[in-house]
Structure 1
């Protein structure tokens, strides 16, 4: 049976995939603390997700693992998307990307109060043609 905390995390990825980061208010504490790619607070988390959805509007999450210890949920997620607008200075390529992300959530009273995000940006940059794929012979 899935815990309440895991359900909150699954809802997080549903909201990200819906393209409506403003809906994160539903499951995030106003005092959310963010680390790494999540920004430092709820406003920065929403902005970060929103800026990622511009070049990858069809972003889809496949939640591979959710591991819980007390109020902490660790997730490993595989994302797929199409590169449809500038990303990190790279013009839209139309290429499909697949990359992984690891997130750590702290859930209290049904709300995300802390989040740390690590996204595999190297893989994304390689797949959109921003990095060489092989060393010259």
Structure 2
């Protein structure tokens, strides 16, 4: 049996490889995504995939560097540092070619061997400052 930490690490390995299909294999079909900047949760693998594709088009070399990983029972908490290059349009901002680096604090709940829920609080202000 894979631990919750191993599962989340494997999902980020797939993310760093740019493999959206493999990432989705680690998530429950009814995944719930709680994003700090959104008033309501997003739901389902398709919504997750849309966010993944948005980030990959804008930052094709984006990588997540796991700086802290803490787990207990069915929960995993992460402190991550994302790094990449703004090479495509992102939320109306044309590509700048600038490097980006920002921090994200993320929490995951695992159920039945899959990521069932996530809470993401990324430093979007820093990201936007770097591409504006």
Higher Rg of the two aligned structures: 1
> For 1:51 and 1:39, how far apart are their aligned partners in 2?
15
Aligned residue for 1:15? 14
8 Å Cα contact 1:39/1:48 also seen in 2: no
8 Å Cα contact 1:61/1:77 also seen in 2: yes
8 Å Cα contact 2:11/2:22 also seen in 1: no
User: Which ranges of structure 1 fall in alignment gaps of 5 or more residues?
Assistant: 131-137
Q: Deviations over 1:38-79 (max 9, x none)?
A: 732221111111111101000111101111122111111001
RMSD: 1.6
> For 1:13 and 1:75, how far apart are their aligned partners in 2?
11
Alignment TM-score, normalising by the size of structure 2: 0.88
Alignment TM-score, normalising by the size of structure 1: 0.85
User: Which ranges of structure 2 fall in alignment gaps of 5 or more residues?
Assistant: none
Greater than 6 Å deviation, 4+ residue runs: none
Aligned residue pair count = 127
- Listed as ranges, the matches of 1:84-103 within 5 Å are 84-103=87-106
